[in-house]
Amino acid sequence: MKINNITGINMASASSNTRYGKRDDSLLVSIEKGSTISGKFTNNSFKSAPVITAKDHLEKCSGKEIVLMINAGNANAGTGKKGAKDVLSCCKSVGKEMGINPESVLPFSTGVIGEYLKTDEYIGAFIKASKRLKSNNWKQAARSILTTDTKPKLLSRMIKNGSEGIAVTGFAKGSGMIRPDFATLLSFVFIDAKINRSLLDNIHSEALSESFNRITVDGDTSPNDSSVLVASGRTKSPVKRGTAIERKIRSAVIEIYKELADALIKDAEGATKKITIKVVQAKTEKQAESVAFTVAESPLVKTAMFGNDANWGRILSAIGRSPEVNDVSKTSIHLNGVPLAKNGNLHPQHSESKASKAITKKNLEVTIKLGLGKSTFSVITSDFSEDYLLINSDYRS
């Protein structure tokens, strides 16, 4: 895949030589003056020092040169006043090195919770990175922010606007502690266009609602969740809401986010299968969403999927404990089109051999018909394997 550069965006990474040894784990992204930035952060009441600082700085740096400062390996969460002091120290050091106000540095962290940041080591890495900034360091950048991920997630699109090309390029990380509100997820997407903050926020919110807010690995939400959408300000004229080019940009951004979300699930911790939970015929979207996530986050359902056990009773039980459901008498369940249950009971056309064959696929779709209305909602998740347990039982080791 060709990765399109974004005018005015430069980046570089370096190693702090801490948790990951010599592997790059410290990234700077320089954004030239005139850009617009939309930031969305975790709704977890337990917020990391970088999230608190980034939210504060975001409201003070509009129109200025901005630097995204990202470290992997240490979340700097649950670290109290020292954690807040450490993140500001990093911002000041990077700001001084880059010749910008510290409030124009937006910090992001991912990694172990409850450990103090090795400030000197990370600052040293950021200073090294500041001397290597280039416009084409996308692959290096995407790799540097990984924690338990096994591969980088990097995507790019080019939109035609007459004779002008508008690039959309982005990368993300996240494998576990994944649930809406972005999870242990960092996402950075860039548009080569001039878009005002209000419109950019609107596009960002829609993209998240169609992507990261429809995935779950384990139902846990991190204190570090952050998603950033940047418009470089480099098109000839501003993009206006409702125009053909705005619709093209919106569509491309949503597709990038959806594909990044899909890539996160495929690389989920210990995952062997991608599972789509599709709920239809619900009374309301709220009901459909509740059922989809209740099923998607059921450990019993997820372990059965891993073990190739088409145990529809576990699925129906999860549906029944959704707080939005009080009647399963009209509920039907299919797995990749194979009937499992009808009207809350064994489907009269159920075939154990067909169901057992269907569940061995790497891509599964569980379709749940509630028979109560016309609303729908889909969630993408993964199975639970022994590897998920091993990864998370010794994460700090």
Which residues are known catalytic residues?
184
Angstrom distance (rounded) from CA 365 to CA 355: 12
d(Cα 306, Cα 385) in Å, to the nearest integer? 6
Cα–Cα dist 302/387, whole Å:
13
Helix/strand/coil percent split, the chain, to 5: 35, 25, 40
Total count of residues recorded for the chain: 397
Residue 377 has φ and ψ, to the nearest 5°, of -165, 140
Give the other-Cβ count within 10 Å of 352's Cβ. Answer: 9
Cβ within 8 Å of residue 397, ≥6 positions away? none
Q: What is the C-alpha separation between 268 and 362, in angstroms, rounded?
A: 13
> What's the one-letter identity of residue 150?
T
Question: 71 by DSSP, 3-state: which?
Answer: strand
Interatomic CA distance for residues 271 and 291, integer angstroms = 22
How far is residue 41's CA from residue 111's CA, in Å, rounded to a whole number? Answer: 16
Do 179 and 204 contact (CB within 8 A), yes or no? Answer: no
DSSP class of residue 349 equals: T
Contact 117, 137 (CB under 8 A): no
Residue 374 burial (CB count, 10 A) = 11
Contacts of 194 (CB under 8 A, 6+ apart): 36, 231, 232, 233, 234, 235, 237, 238, 239
Q: Annotate 23-43 with b (16+ C-beta within 10 A) or e (fewer).
A: ebbbbbbbbeeebbbbbbbbe
Mark out the alpha helices in 153-243 (DSSP H runs). Answer: 197-209
